[in-house]
Every structure is written in C-alpha cells, then in structure tokens.
Amino acid sequence: MSENHKSLWPAILVSALGYFVDLYDLLLFSVVRSNSLMELGVNQENILQVGLSLLNWMLIGMMAGGIVWGILGDKKGRLSVLFGSIIIYSVANFLNGYITTVEQYRLLRFISGFGLAGELGAGVTLISEIMKPQKRGYGIMLVTAVGMFGAATAAYVGQHYDWRFAFRLGGIMGLVLLFLRISVKESPVFKRALATEVSRGNFLKLMTHKRLAFTFIKLIILGLPIFFVIGILITATPEFAKALGMSPMPATGTAVMVTYIAISLGDILCTVVSQVLRSRKKALLLFLFITLIGILIYLYFPVTTPLGYYVKCAILGIGIGYLSLLVTFVAEHFGTNYRATATISAPNFIRGLLPIVVAPAFLLLRPTFGLITGAALVGIACIIIAILTLFFLKESFGRSLEWIEPF
C-alpha cells in the first residue's frame, strides 16, 4: 500500500467528521433562531431582523477566518488549519449554550464563524493533494456527503431538545475530533512545495495579481445561488410559508433537514455526473439550471401542506448540491503555494456575499416588489450571473496539482 493511500482514509474521515460538526453549528442557528431569541427577550416582530443580524456577524466572521486560515494553510500546512479551526468553533459553540444576552450571542456567532471558515477548505485541499487526479472528485464527495448530515442532525436536535443543549452538544462533538489528529498526515505535495523559493499564502497577491484575482472572483460568483437558497429561502421558512398562505405552517427545522439531506444527494449526483462527463463545467452548469427551476417552483408553485413545502425544499437542495464540486474546482485552479489560501477563503467569501450583497439586495427589493417577487428577482439574478461567469473559467478535470505559481 502506497504512503499516499495509507494517509488518504484518515484524512477523509477527519475532514468528513469535521465538516459534519461544521454544518451542525452553521445550520443549528437557523433551526433555533426563533426560540433562542424569544428566550433572550426579543419581540416577535423583530426576530427576523435580529436573526439576520446575527447570521451576518457569523458570515463576516467566516470571511475574516477564510483569509487568516487560508494564509496559514499555505504557510504552516493544511493540518494546522484543519484542527485549529475545529478547536475554535467547537469552543465557541459550547459557550453559546450559556449566553444570556443578544450581544453575547453576536460575539460567539462571530467567533464561531471565524473558526468554521477553515475546516472545509483545508480538508478539500488536503484530500485533493493526496488523491489521484482522475478520482479526487469522489474523495471530496465523501467529505461533503457525510458533512451534510450534520445539518440534518442539527435540525433534529434543534427541534427535539433545548437550544442551549444543542449548542453544547455541537461543541463537545468537535472537541472529540481532536483525538483523531494523530492518524492524519500532512499533504506530501505541500511538503515538497516547502523546498521551493516562492511566495506562499500571499493573500494580497491573490487579490491584486490580475490572473489570480479574476479567477478567484469568478469562482466565488459561482457559489452565489447556494447561499441565496440557504440564507434567504430556507432560513426564512416561516416568513415565506406565511406569504404563500400555508396552513398548517412547515417547521423550519424540518425544512433545513430535508434541504440538507437533498444537498447530500445532489452532491453525490453532481460528482458522479462530473466524473462520467469528465468535466467540472458541464456538471456545474446542469446543477445551476436545476437550482433555477427549484427557485421558481419554490416561489410560484402553490402548495397547501407542509409535505408539499418540504418537497420544494428537496428540489432546491438537489440543485445547490454542487458545493463539493465547486470547492474542488477552486483547488484545481491554483498552484500549491496559493491553493489553501484560495480554497479555504473562497467558500467563506461566497457565504460573506450573503450579508454584503444578496441579503441587502433582497431587503431593498422586498418593500417595492413584495417578499416573493423580491426573492425571485434576486435568485434569478444570482443564477444568471453564475452561468455567465462559468463560461469564462477553464476546465480542470483530471488536472495534476503538483505545480506552483511562479510568483
């Protein structure tokens, strides 16, 4: 058995379980948002506004963390980021179970977001550099498929247990992962790159060098529809269900659980399509079209029962199940000395566009066009922009990652 093969499965296991806890924390807030804020004394009419504010702080933390962890990933190694991020978001998650004010909630959401920023990108970078080029999509698929069930677990725990216990449980699960550290080895590709005399993890260069910056920005834009669906349509389930005239109302926790189980299925399907077609771009294009169809069905296809609503959530989930392929796509576009910086920061910049671009656009359009039409305009714009951007990116299927950027 080769050294690479022996180090592959521990890396996949830890990355997958880390992403499980990552998404547990990330989505738990969507499930317990209303109950936790009401217990903290927030008025019912202000829950959506305060909830979006807390979500924004977490996403801003993820943007900041994406930069810091990305730089560390290329300077100090993929493993230092993988486990460092797990420690921070696990401690923040655990402490979140003891808050007494909205201000404390806001601070811990920011810290948690900062920690969450590193895990997925570090895991994807590590596995991508260990696996054979023609097969690496399957390795990343396993990580995200297992990880997505963390969201389903958050939905179940958040609905059936006290929200404080749910946060503490997430923290404990993350800290338990640290015991697996001894079995995971650093990427051999990264070790070999250390011997070269080139800049590593230079985020300023990533943002100012013309080719690197344009590639980075285009890859970020591809992910806009994912977090529009999660951050607007699914998170605001109570508001959309009411606007759609539903009775009885669907449960937000169940909507989150169904969506993320469907994302896991979509993630597997998208990866398989990519491997069969031997193309990242064709698979991404197909799933962007599925997402567009899902948005239109969600907003304009009338249903009267929670079951019908959950079916619509499932269609959306399958459509946006291209996240793992997108993160792999990012890793394949950058040399070893910038790969972690780009791969770790890109998903968090995508998430960060939600409070900076997507949510403000939605809130701006909502008073004029209403909840449904406002959401449709923003969602369709995200899809169109992503599809147009895809055509300006190079195919990367089967590309060797044994190369460095010469600056």
Instruction: Encode the chain (407 residues) as per-residue pLDDT tens digits.
Output: 344 556 788 888 888 888 888 888 877 887 888 889 999 988 887 887 788 788 888 888 988 999 999 999 999 999 889 889 989 999 999 999 999 999 999 999 999 999 988 888 898 899 999 988 888 888 888 887 787 788 778 888 988 899 999 999 999 998 888 887 667 888 889 988 888 888 888 899 999 999 999 999 999 999 999 989 988 899 889 889 999 888 899 988 788 888 888 988 898 899 999 999 999 999 999 999 999 999 999 999 989 899 999 999 999 999 999 988 998 999 999 999 999 999 999 988 887 777 778 878 888 898 899 999 999 999 999 999 999 999 999 999 989 998 898 87
Contact 112, 61 (CB under 8 A): yes
Tokens of 108: 């811990």
Look-up of token digits 């990116």: 393
Hey, is 401 helix, strand or coil?
Answer: coil
Domains of the chain: 3-179+202-390 (1.20.1250.20)
Write the CB contacts of 366 (distance below 8 Å, at least 6 apart in sequence): 374, 375
Please count the CA atoms within 13 angstroms of the CA of 168 that sit on its side-chain side: 8
What is the chain's Cα-based Rg? 20
Handedness of CA 31, 62, 96, 321 (dihedral sign): positive
Question: What's phi and psi for 221, nearest 5 deg?
Answer: -60, -35
Q: Cα separation of 260 and 254, whole Å?
A: 10
Nearest CA-CA partner of 154 in 178, 176, 173, 179: 173
Question: Is 10 exposed, middle or buried (CB count within 10 Å of its CB: 0-12, 13-18, 19+)?
Answer: middle
Helices (H), 301-358: 306-319, 323-331, 336-353
Write the CB contacts of 191 (distance below 8 Å, at least 6 apart in sequence): none
Q: What does the DSSP 8-state code read for residue 279?
A: -
Buried (b) or exposed (e) across 186-202, using 16+ Cβ within 10 A? bbebbeebeeeeebbbb
Hey, is 181 helix, strand or coil?
Answer: helix
Q: Cα separation of 76 and 337, whole Å?
A: 11
Q: Cα separation of 183 and 190, whole Å?
A: 18
pLDDT score at 42: 87
Write the CB contacts of 340 (distance below 8 Å, at least 6 apart in sequence): 70, 72, 73, 74, 78, 81, 121, 122, 125, 190, 201
pLDDT score at 344: 92
Contact 328, 137 (CB under 8 A): yes
Handedness of CA 376, 377, 381, 384 (dihedral sign): positive
Question: What's phi and psi for 386, nearest 5 deg?
Answer: -65, -45
pLDDT score at 229: 94
Tokens of 317: 């989930």
Question: Is 346 exposed, middle or buried (CB count within 10 Å of its CB: 0-12, 13-18, 19+)?
Answer: buried
Q: Cα separation of 251 and 239, whole Å?
A: 11
Contact 31, 23 (CB under 8 A): no
What is the residue-wise DSSP string for 204-268?
A: HHHHHSHHHHHHHHHHHHHTHHHHHIIIIIITTHHHHHHHTT-SSPPPHHHHHHHHHHHHHHHHH
pLDDT score at 183: 76
> CA angle at residue 347 from 341 to 175, to 5 degrees?
85
pTM of the complete model = 0.86
Tokens of 186: 């650093």
Question: What's phi and psi for 170, nearest 5 deg?
Answer: -60, -40
